[in-house]
Every structure is written in C-alpha cells, then in structure tokens.
Structure 1
Amino acid sequence: MLNEPIRIRCGMIIEKEDKILLQRSPGVNHWSLPGGMMQIGEKYVDAAIRGVLEETSLKVEEMEFFGILSGRDCFITNKFGDQAFHLQVVFMAKEYTGKVKIMDECNREHRFYKRTTLPRNLNPQQKLFINSWKEKTPLPIIN
C-alpha cells in the first residue's frame, strides 16, 4: 500500500458553452477532471479550487456540489503496482476567469468536449461524473 492509502480527490466539472473541460497527464492515457488531492486541514471546496488553479490556471469562484464517489470504484493501482483508495468529491463551475494553459509537467493536454463527442478513455474513477454531466442527471450524484 502507498504511504497514504486513503486520499480524497476534489475535482471540478468546468463547463463552457455546453462543453466540459478534460485533461490528460503525462504517462496516462485517460481523460480526467481537473482538481487536486485534499491536504490536511483543507476544505473540499478549497482543494478543488486550488487543484483547478494549479492544473489549468483557471480561477473558479462560484461552484455547486456535483457528487461524491466511494466504494469499490475508488480503488486504484498506480504504475508501480501500489494500491490506494481515492474518494472522489466533485463540484461544477460555469463561471471562472483566466485562460486554460499547461501549468507544469503534471499535465500534457487540456480540451473542451461536447456532450456528443466525449472521449472513450475516461478516468475510471470519474467516468460516472462525466457521464452524469453528459446525460444531465439530477444532482447530486452519490455513489
């Protein structure tokens, strides 16, 4: 197990003109939501805002709770074979400032996708949220 086998990832569905912002990291083939791991003492909302800023340079000020994912779908195995449990907390924002850009070596690509053209290779832990956004499922999404 990793040193921190239970972590909380706070992600953000960022919507612009009925499109969703997805990103890919180096060495990872799937598309995911921007966001970050919660730090000790941090609030969910603050972790999501910080993560989005660090990964995209976008500043989000207003958002709503979108959903939470727990259970078996949260188990991950990293490229070294280490296993962990990543609880997913997701918010949604339609208002933000700034322009999307690569902030560091942790991200290689950002792209806005229409509901009808989402990529197939979505992050398994976030697929439920992305598809719920696509289908306009009533909120919150709790699993």
Structure 2
Amino acid sequence: MNYMRMLRQYVGTSPIILAGSAVIILNEKGEILLQKRVDDGLWGIPGGGMELGDSFEETAIKEVKEETGLTIKSIKLFSLFSGKEYYHRYPHGDECYNALAVYICDDYEGELYISDGESSEQQFWSLHDLPELSSITKKVLARYLE
C-alpha cells in the first residue's frame, strides 16, 4: 500500500510533513521538463512522496520513471526546500508541509509518456518562457535561476 494513503487513513486531511523528491530535468537545449497536473491544472517538475525505506535519491529516480517514462542515469542534489512557505492544500482537501530534496538531471534516456494519471501533459519549456507554475515549482525555479 502507498505510504501516503496508509497515513491518510489515520489523519484524514489534517496537515502532515511530506518528505519527497523532485527533479529538474534539462534536455540538450537547456529546456526544463514540466508536467501539467490533473488536479489543479498547474505545471510542475516531476516528483513525489517518499515511500517507507526509500532514500531521497531513490524516490527521485522512481518518481521520474513512474511519471514520465524516463530513466535517470545520473542526478545531482540541487537544494533542500522546507518550512511554512512549502505548505500545500490539494484540491481534494489534503494538507501538507513539504520537505523536498530537489535534484538536477541532464543525463537520462527513454521516451516521454504519461502513465500515472497525475498529469495530463508533459513538455520541455524554455526557462524564459514558462507556463503557469505551481507555487512550489515557482519557488524551486526562482532559486535555480538565481
């Protein structure tokens, strides 16, 4: 069973600390891969919540594979993100404070496909011409572009 679903059985929609990983994936043109979320229609970088026993790096690699079909060959830790400014309330009511390890990857293989039902589109975007981003992705990319 998914750790988050199991935990939600006990706490309902109450705020929790959600440990997870996300990945800034760059193609050969320096464009960033973004996904359009089904639940709120906003774009964000691939990533997700940690499962019991997984490391941040394992979570990053697994989530990218599940969400995009890409296989990461190597990643580098970019930064950690946590605190009250990383609070999120999902459209269905679940609340969390994210504690994220964000990685950078430009060494991957495979073809993009949508398989997890969480996103409706995937596309590489110029860092200077981005679509409407989720609040957390905005903060992550602001730090990346500093």
* TM-score, normalising length: structure 1: 0.86
- Give yes or no for contact 1:14–1:94 (8 Å, CA) kept in 2: yes
Q: Which residue of 2 aligns with 1:127?
A: 138
Q: Encode CA deviations 1:15-43: one digit per residue, 9 max, x unaligned.
A: 01110000012132211110121111110
Q: Which residue of 2 aligns with 1:41?
A: 53
Question: Using the alignment, how far apart are the partners of 1:107 and 1:70 within structure 2?
Answer: 24
Tell whether 2:25 aligns with 1:8.
no
Tell whether 2:81 aligns with 1:69.
yes
- Give yes or no for contact 1:59–1:97 (8 Å, CA) kept in 2: yes
Q: Which runs of 5+ in 2 are unaligned?
A: 1-11
Tell whether 2:30 aligns with 1:18.
yes
Q: Which residue of 2 aligns with 1:141?
A: none
Q: Shift of the alpha carbon at 1:132?
A: 3.1
Question: Using the alignment, how far apart are the partners of 2:125 and 2:141 within structure 1?
Answer: 11
Question: Using the alignment, how far apart are the partners of 1:4 and 1:132 within structure 2?
Answer: 25
AA paired with 1:55? E
Q: Shift of the alpha carbon at 1:73?
A: 1.3
Question: Using the alignment, how far apart are the partners of 1:31 and 1:49 within structure 2?
Answer: 19
- Give yes or no for contact 1:88–1:125 (8 Å, CA) kept in 2: no
Q: How is 1:49-60 mapped onto 2 (pairs within 5 angstroms)?
A: 49-60=61-72
Q: Which runs of 5+ in 1 are unaligned?
A: 138-143
Cα separation, partners in 2 of 1:51 and 1:4, compared to 1, 3 Å:
farther
Q: Which residue of 2 aligns with 1:80?
A: 92
Q: Which residue of 1 aligns with 2:130?
A: 118
* TM-score, normalising length: structure 2: 0.84
* C-alpha RMSD over aligned residues: 1.6
Report SS of the residue matched to 2:44.
coil
Q: After TM superposition, where is structure 1 displaced by more than 4 Å over at least 4 residues in a row? A: none
- Give yes or no for contact 2:76–2:104 (8 Å, CA) kept in 1: yes
Structure with the larger helix share? 2
Q: What is the aligned-residue identity percentage?
A: 27
